[in-house]
Structure 1
């Protein structure tokens, strides 16, 4: 009788491990690079491994994914940067994971489908530009701007910035060129508008187009990683988001300086009627859903949740006399309770879905006013008035408190719900 050598006997096992490794590599790279939470990305890899009867372990880091098939000696290092957000790709990939785990599709067909998903284009340029313009104008309404000329200037500036970003994306893969140049354009347009006295709300004409650039999903994903003990990855996400915010501030202030203007740190928001506030919040949510390539059929869900959250915040501030940070916490707590199960049901990334729903609560105005105040403070030196420093501290403290309130409001219900309802 002819025996089978050890190498021949091991060959089928090696081939199966290689197939599993290649499939897992495609899935986790696609999810990691398009905004899925780290926990769901790792869980997807483990589900695929279980379906293929392989023990899969994934160690994500900024810029790299380490994938190991335990017991096979297979370790794969794949370059991957979690710098993008595409909800449609994530939803389709998670649906593919369900099919693989349920045995409804084989490895070859799954890999072919994943290649098609990875090459699916984001939201079209016209949709991107139009929704950016509408979202920035809606944020201006929330902050009290009602003049049609000012809203038109904000929409024009933001739409031009969106087109500029798409053009730069084709020419450069640098992560910071797009927000820097878009903010620079917003600052120049705002300075020209002030010089020509086209608007009395310079701070909104310049700030609202920049608020569209704030990397909220990366901040939220970073907070989730820190809360789960993934310290290096969480800090890396925060660093990336912080650098983008720094580029936005630098571009905005440089654009204003080119036009001989500065950002007024004393400007304050004006209360708007409840119905206008509610409609504007819904438009802002739809805009950010479009930025993140959310499918049209699912877009009404975050719009309704965002409008409900903003109504809650408006009532707490206007009727109950609550501060902006406590009101943001309660609104985000409501969003976290609603979004956690819905995001899993729709297979979309929690951070992008949750941020789109609460984008109107972001303290972008406070952050940019603080940056403008710091520049003025440095320029004036010892001649700076005491109220300028007080304004800088107040804006910075308010922005920090709102960000913390939003992060805790979104994360706490997510952790609790996943604890008692892991499915």
Structure 2
């Protein structure tokens, strides 16, 4: 093999490597498989690799390129082992993708910037994330009708759960056991609050405290992948969501056992107990919940207020549509459509990918509580509880489908697709929540005119 060919192959390897590293960050941050593939292919094309083969599964991204039919194709694989949501890294990687596609960053610059992004500390100290997690649980307690006492206990429980999860994740404990520990902590806080004489509903305390653990986000991501045709990744995400919720259920059961051993009488704990407040409180609580979640996920500060405002309006739409006699999924679909429509234009103004706005704004609408309630009722063993649990699970699935479909449709309607972008969208299956709308390559007519 000549030196020129060796140099060319080396450059191809570097292009595939930086594309894979971009895909790894996007996938671990919750981006859909279609968005990950679109971003990786756009970056590779712009840097000089035409028509690479990209494959995305739940645990790895791979890329293959045949530069010479007489030679073995180049194939690189990266495993995705950590799935913590870091929206500051996601935002910077998304901007890097846009800069590469626009021709503002070359291969060397892309590799340098990727190394800087993944090694740069987060924009917030860890204690701020703990406070935000507690604030998220406290705001959930408010719009669920728990009152001030439940909100305070939920805030403390949420902060404690965050610290416990952070410690266990540093010890590399599998996610299922982390969820078990979180559910146990929530139950113990409820038991202590009930035993101390506070006038709180232990069921509401547990419900509000486990909101940060619930798997609604994973279920919505799974359905987004299913809608866009990535069924293997969708199935894996759905299994992870159900396993995470089962972990919470096991933790709550274990917490009840520990409370009984300590002599703390918590009484009957109703799974997923809620007591929805009026529209103004619901809207304000949803805004606080979405904003707190955005902070806990390291979203840039400039986008927190828009997220809270969008969540406020979306929660109001959900309640209004549901109150006129339409089923809950239709109210959620209308709210999700609004989120999808607004997120695209707002994301351009605050310079973040739409995903950073969509997910936090949709958190108050997620069906995690219905999943938890359904699984809890189905484990009680009676025919009535099993029927109620199955109904709750079907409702959760309907709400998740409505959320995913509404957001995707909203983005599809909102994005002003030009001819080149429309061709790219047709090839890459769906509207983008992350990544470029254009491939960065000029059409033949544009090249001729230039």
TM-score, scaled relative to structure 1: 0.87
Kindly indicate whether residue 354 of structure 2 is the aligned counterpart of residue 353 of structure 1.
no
Measured in 2, the distance between the counterparts of 1:216 and 1:340 equals 22
Kindly indicate whether residue 219 of structure 2 is the aligned counterpart of residue 214 of structure 1.
no
Of 323, 333, 357, 1:329 maps to 333
For the 8 Å contact 2:371–2:396, the answer to whether it is kept is yes
**Alignment-derived partner of residue 447 in structure 2:** none
List gaps (5 residues or longer) in structure 2: 261-265, 422-436, 438-450
**Alignment-derived partner of residue 71 in structure 1:** 67
**Alignment-derived partner of residue 306 in structure 1:** 311
Kindly indicate whether residue 49 of structure 2 is the aligned counterpart of residue 54 of structure 1.
yes
**Alignment-derived partner of residue 273 in structure 1:** 278
For the 8 Å contact 2:204–2:273, the answer to whether it is kept is no
**Alignment-derived partner of residue 104 in structure 2:** 104
Kindly indicate whether residue 20 of structure 2 is the aligned counterpart of residue 25 of structure 1.
yes
* Alpha-carbon distance change, 169 to 81 in structure 1, aligned in 2, over 3 angstroms: closer
Measured in 1, the distance between the counterparts of 2:247 and 2:406 equals 27
Measured in 2, the distance between the counterparts of 1:199 and 1:49 equals 60
Measured in 1, the distance between the counterparts of 2:376 and 2:145 equals 20
* Runs (4+) off by over 6 Å: none
Measured in 2, the distance between the counterparts of 1:419 and 1:304 equals 24
Aligned pairs (5 A) from 1:258-269: 258-260=258-260, 261=266, 264-265=269-270, 269=274
**Alignment-derived partner of residue 295 in structure 2:** 290
Measured in 2, the distance between the counterparts of 1:354 and 1:12 equals 43
For the 8 Å contact 2:217–2:363, the answer to whether it is kept is no
Measured in 1, the distance between the counterparts of 2:61 and 2:45 equals 19
**Aligned to 2:175, what secondary structure does the other structure show?**
coil
Deviation at 1:142, TM superposition (A): 1.2
Measured in 2, the distance between the counterparts of 1:104 and 1:232 equals 35
**Aligned to 1:199, what secondary structure does the other structure show?**
coil
Measured in 2, the distance between the counterparts of 1:191 and 1:89 equals 38
Of 398, 409, 414, 2:411 maps to 414
- 386-395 or 137-146: which moved more? 386-395
Measured in 1, the distance between the counterparts of 2:370 and 2:60 equals 34
1:70-109 CA distance string (max 9 Å, x none): 3252111222247232211111011112222233233223
TM-score, scaled relative to structure 2: 0.82
Deviation at 1:295, TM superposition (A): 0.6
1:289-320 CA distance string (max 9 Å, x none): 122211101112211111110111232344x2
Deviation at 1:335, TM superposition (A): 1.2
- 136-145 or 37-46: which moved more? 37-46
1:304-356 CA distance string (max 9 Å, x none): 111110111232344x2444332222111211222245447766555553221
* Alpha-carbon distance change, 368 to 38 in structure 1, aligned in 2, over 3 angstroms: closer
**Alignment-derived partner of residue 14 in structure 1:** 9
Kindly indicate whether residue 127 of structure 2 is the aligned counterpart of residue 126 of structure 1.
yes
* Alpha-carbon distance change, 262 to 109 in structure 1, aligned in 2, over 3 angstroms: farther
Kindly indicate whether residue 196 of structure 2 is the aligned counterpart of residue 201 of structure 1.
no
Measured in 1, the distance between the counterparts of 2:401 and 2:368 equals 14
Deviation at 1:117, TM superposition (A): 0.8
**Alignment-derived partner of residue 116 in structure 1:** 116
**Aligned to 2:53, what secondary structure does the other structure show?**
strand
Aligned length: 409
Measured in 1, the distance between the counterparts of 2:57 and 2:322 equals 41
List gaps (5 residues or longer) in structure 1: 1-5, 379-383
**Alignment-derived partner of residue 175 in structure 2:** 175
- 119-128 or 227-236: which moved more? 119-128
For the 8 Å contact 2:55–2:62, the answer to whether it is kept is yes
For the 8 Å contact 1:90–1:347, the answer to whether it is kept is no
